[in-house]
Chains A and B, each alone.
Chain A
Amino acid sequence: MKQKKEFDWFDRPESIKKLWIMLYAICGLLVVPDFFTHRHAHFGFDGLLGFYALLGFVSCAVLILFSKLVALVLKAKEDYYDK
């Protein structure tokens, strides 16, 4: 008896590749409107081209790296409090 095939699209390497391309494409396309519209800047620097894209990228990278740094001190084995 043949079992119904499981939906595993997200596990396939070719799908993951497609998702990567999509992600890059979306990120790229989102900066395009900045060339044509003028965003009203509240503080000056936030009106720059692709400011929010840059902010998102840099702040997340810094947050991850910073969390890795504090992890050196803060990470402990799961039974840390039981000992």
Chain B
Amino acid sequence: MISDFPPAAILILGALLVPFFKGNARNWYVILLPAAAFYLISQLQVGSSWQVHFFGFDLTFLRVDKLSKVFGYIFTLNAVAAFVYAFYLKDSTQHMAALFYIGSALGVVFAGDLVSLYFFWEVMAVASTFLILGRKTKKAQAAGMRYILVHIFGGLCLLAGMVIYITQTGSIAFNAITDRNLGTYLILIGILVNAAAPPLHAWLPDAYPEATVTGGVILSAYTTKTAVYTLVRGFPGWEVLIVVGCMMTLYGIIYALLENDMRRILAYSIINQVGFMVTGVGIGTMMSLNGTVAHAFCHIIYKALLWMSAGSVLYMVGKSKCTDLGGLYKTMPLTLIFGAIGALSISSFPATSGFTSKSLIIDGAIHEHLVWVWLVLEIASAGVFLHAGIKFPYFVFFAKDKGLRPGETNKPMLIAMAFLSFMCIFLGLYPQPLYNVLPYEVHYQAYTFNHVVAQLQLLMLSALVFFLFLKLLKRTETISIDTDWFYRKGGRLFYYIMDKALNGINRLSDRIIVGGLAGALGRLSRHGSQILTLGAMLPLWSAGGARGKELQGKIERTRAALRTGASPVGISAALATVFLIIVYLLL
């Protein structure tokens, strides 16, 4: 039956045909593929599956339940918007990489077992690298290289964990994991690398801002959100995730406040937002898991929207540093409005999608009486408005006019942004369609008078602080050192230390062994036998009464005999006896 077909296959097989299309036909074709996948997902019946027998495993390429479907919906919906946005692009490599990447993200979400999940996980890592390399700058190449290396490390953790887990349980099925041992913790670490949890997060703010204009839009959605999906599926209620998540929310804010590059600000705010979702998984109640899924759904939309508006600016102006930007409201008003809607949504402003989704997670913490968790999430919510809600639009579109007059960006980009802006407000005012597709039933009303007032108080006072502290927030032409230091500078430091240490040892041993010891050994082997022999024989000869010339003659003869290896048997035998006696006495 057609409706039992894995949606990943549409994008992955479809990607192979991209080179056969030219011009606008190609752009329409790549928009059509995720649209078709979206339709297919809407037709999938909960409970259906699609299995393949492979090397003694029953691989489940399709597992349909509410959780996999909701992620499928948003992945394909966002892909449609992203490809509309990328209509200007004439690079089939990027289109193919994007399709492989999004397709394998769908593969992860619909995978029913660990083996196929791992397969798609790795395809994602490789395909996404091409969206970074596609920028074709030296910086992008280096960042892409670091990106793939970190993901190979994460993939290896995941693989090692899976091997241990599968050996222990004897099953490759992927469901909620309850055992806590080395295997499951390794799986968790592998997933947290992709979720960009500090200290394993630095690949994200390192690489995403170096990606192409559309690459950044596409990357922002899938890697971290497949990790969130995998956590919801496999690790609900793991308390350690509450700690990890809370730390992520604050970590992202602090770094985003320090950052100068607009797309790097947005990259750090991904870490902050995924922190909310990871916390929701850690709380692990139906309400908080619903909140995590809803927030992932809305986050993908407004985050893509923010990356799109930043991408439009980069596309038109060719600059992405706040210190180079400013005053763009005059010539890019539509990009500003769409970007601002994204900024308000990420800040959970009432009437936007962030308000109806994040509140579920925060309420989940309240229901479990987790006072500290709740407090951190509220503080982080205020901080989001600071760094992403105001800082990004303010420094890019307002602040100091830098004399840039680029004009509005192209129509397809504006259409894509308008569509996502509509989604942000629609889901903010009327979240029921989203609530209906969440994994568990939702009994929640975001819009109570008190809740709206409380949220507005929190946000507007944050805004006040931003403008009161504006002098402190003035952008400088600097970067912030993050944990990638350890493999960027640290790598070089390691090289330096190894160079000094190992090559030092090398030089030292050269001097001692080659220069000194070898010569000494050579001399020893040449003269050693003479010294030993004469040392043993001289006392004997002296005792035998040899003196003067006679003794001199004996010495000369012995030397000559030893040099030519022609010593008389008697002397050799006597020497061997003396040697044996010495050895005997010594031992």
Contact surface of A with B, Cβ cutoff 8 Å: 6-8, 10-11, 20, 23-24, 26-27, 30-31, 33-34, 37, 39-40, 42-43, 50-57, 59-61, 63-68, 70-71, 73-78, 80-81
Contact = CB atoms under 8 A, between A and B. Distances in A.
Interface in B326-342: 327, 329-330, 333
A76 B481 contact: yes
A37 B461 contact: no
Contacts of A7: 329-330, 333
Contact of B458 (A24, A34, A56): A56
Contacts, number: 137
Interface of B, secondary structure class, is helix
A10 to B, nearest CB: 6
Nearest to A39: B450
A75 B255 CA distance: 10
Given A40-B450, A78-B478, A80-B479, A63 B488 contact: no
Contact of B463 (A11, A23, A70): A23
Given A42-B374, A74-B258, A30 B480 contact: no
Given A60-B466, A71-B258, A74-B258, A37 B449 contact: yes
B246 interface: no
A76 B477 CA distance: 9
A20 B488 CA distance: 44
Interface of B: 250, 253-254, 257-258, 327, 329-330, 333, 366, 369, 371, 374, 378-379, 382-383, 385-386, 398, 401, 449-450, 453-467, 469, 472-473, 476-482, 488-489
Given A33-B453, A50-B457, A55-B458, A64 B480 contact: no
Contact of A39 (B454, B456, B467): B454
Nearest to B473: A64
A30 B379 contact: no
Nearest to A67: B257
Nearest to B484: A81
Nearest to A75: B478
A60 B473 CA distance: 12
A81 B488 contact: yes
B480 A56 contact: no
Nearest to A63: B383
13 contacts: A7-B330, A27-B464, A37-B449, A43-B369, A52-B455, A53-B460, A60-B386, A64-B257, A64-B386, A71-B480, A78-B477, A80-B481, A81-B479
Nearest to A40: B450
A53 B450 CA distance: 13
Given A56-B458, A81-B488, A63 B254 contact: yes
Nearest to A33: B453
Nearest to B485: A81
A8 to B, nearest CB: 6
B109 to A, nearest CB: 34
Contacts of B383: 59-60, 63
A43 B465 contact: no
Contact of B382 (A37, A55, A75): A55
Nearest 3 interchain pairs by C-beta = A56-B461, A60-B465, A52-B457
